Structure 1
Amino acid sequence: MGNSSRMTFFFIYTLLRRGLLLACLLLATPAWCAEILLTAAEDGDGVQAFAQALAQQRPEDRVTFKPLKDLPAPSRLPANTRLILLDLPGLDWRLQETQGPPTLVLRISRLQAHQRLGTTQPPRISLLWSDPPLDRQLRLIANVLPQARRIGVLYGAESEFLLPELRQYATPMDLEIVPQRWDNISDSRPLQTLFRNSDVLLGLDDPQLYNPKTAKNLLLSSYAQQLPLVGPNAGFVRAGSLASTYSDQSDWLAVLNRLLDHPPATWPRSLYPDHFKVVGNPQVARSLGIEQVDESSVAARLDEGEKRP
Structure 2
Amino acid sequence: MLCLVVSGWLSSLAVHAADILLTGIEDNPGVQSFTQALRELRPGDNVRFQPLADLPAPGKLPGNIRLILLDLPSLDWRLQDSHGPATLVLRISRLQARQHLGDALPAHLSLLWSDPPLGRQLRLIQILLPQVKRVGVLFDNHSEFLLKELRQAALPLGLEVVTERWDNTLDNRPLQNLLKNSDVLLGLDDPDLYNPKTAKNLLLSSYARQMALIGPNAGFVKAGSLASTYSDQSDWLAMLGDLLDQPPASWPRTHYARRFKVSSNAQVARSLGIEQINEAAVAALLAEGERRP
After TM superposition, the score normalised by the length of structure 2 is 0.96
**Deviation per residue, 1:207-226 (Å, 9 max, x gap):** 00000110010011011111
Partner of 1:146 in structure 2?
130
1:157 pairs with one of 111, 118, 141: 141
User: How big is the shift at 1:291?
Assistant: 1.9
Does residue 284 (structure 1) correspond to residue 268 (structure 2)? The answer is: yes
Partner of 2:208: 224
Cα 1:30–1:258 change in 2 (3 A) is farther
Aligned to 1:51: 35
User: Which residue number corresponds to residue 245 of structure 2?
Assistant: 261
Q: Secondary structure at 1:306's aligned position in 2?
A: helix
Supply the distance in 1 between the matched residues of 2:69 and 2:287 (Cα, whole angstroms): 27
Q: Gapped runs of 5+ residues in structure 2?
A: none
For these two proteins, the number of residue pairs brought into alignment is 293
- Contact 1:102 / 1:125 at 8 angstroms: preserved in 2? yes
* Corresponding residue for residue 12 of structure 1: none
Find the residue that maps to 2:188 and give its secondary structure. Answer: coil
Amino acid at match of 1:161: F
Q: 1:133 to 1:61 in 2, by over 3 A?
A: same
Q: CA RMSD in A?
A: 1.8
In the other structure, the counterpart of 1:10 is: none
- Matched residue of 1:50: which SS? helix
Matched-pair contact (CA < 8 Å) for 2:39–2:46: yes
Note if 1:77 corresponds to 2:36. no
Q: Answer yes or no: is 1:172 the counterpart of 2:175.
A: no
2-structure distance, mates of 1:98, 1:27: 33
Per the TM alignment, residue 294 of structure 1 is displaced from its structure 2 partner at its CA by: 1.2
**Could you say which residue in structure 1 is the equivalent of 2:178?**
194
CA contact (8 A) 2:136 2:162 kept: yes
User: How many angstroms does 1:115 deviate by?
Assistant: 1.0
AA matched with 1:171: L
Secondary structure (helix, strand or coil) at the match of 1:31 reads helix
Look up the match of 2:89. 105
Contact in 1 for aligned 2:22/2:50 (Cα 8 Å): yes
Deviation at 1:22, TM superposition (A): 8.3
Shift of 1:253: 0.2
CA distance in 1, matches of 2:46, 2:172: 53
How far, CA to CA, are the matches of 1:30 and 1:246 in structure 2?
36
Give the whole-Å Cα distance in 2 for the aligned partners of 1:56 and 1:137: 32
Query: What is the CA-CA distance between 1:147 and the residue it aligns to?
Result: 0.3
Cα offset, 1:23, TM superposition: 10
Query: Could you tell me whether the CA contact under 8 Å between 1:280 and 1:292 is conserved in 2?
Result: no
| SS of equivalent to 2:145 | helix
Moved over 4 A (4+): 20-30
1:154-201 C-alpha deviation (Å, 9 max, x unpaired): 000000000000000101100000011001000111111000000000
Unpaired stretches in structure 1, ≥5 consecutive residues: 1-16
Separation in structure 2 between the aligned mates of residue 248 and residue 67 of structure 1, nearest angstrom? 23
Q: Distance in 2 between matches of 1:29 and 1:266?
A: 22
Task: Give distance in 2, aligned partners of 1:70 and 1:27.
Answer: 31
Task: Give the aligned residue type for 2:169.
Answer: I
**CA shift for structure 1 position 43:** 1.2
- Quote the offset at 1:292 in angstroms: 2.4
Query: 1:228 is matched by which residue type in structure 2?
Result: A
Partner of 1:208: 192
Residue aligning to 1:275:
259
The residue type paired with residue 206 of structure 2 is S
Deviation at 1:32, TM superposition (A): 2.3
TM-score by length of 1: 0.91
- Which letter does structure 2 place at the counterpart of 1:296? A
> In structure 1, what residue type is equivalent to 2:139?
Y
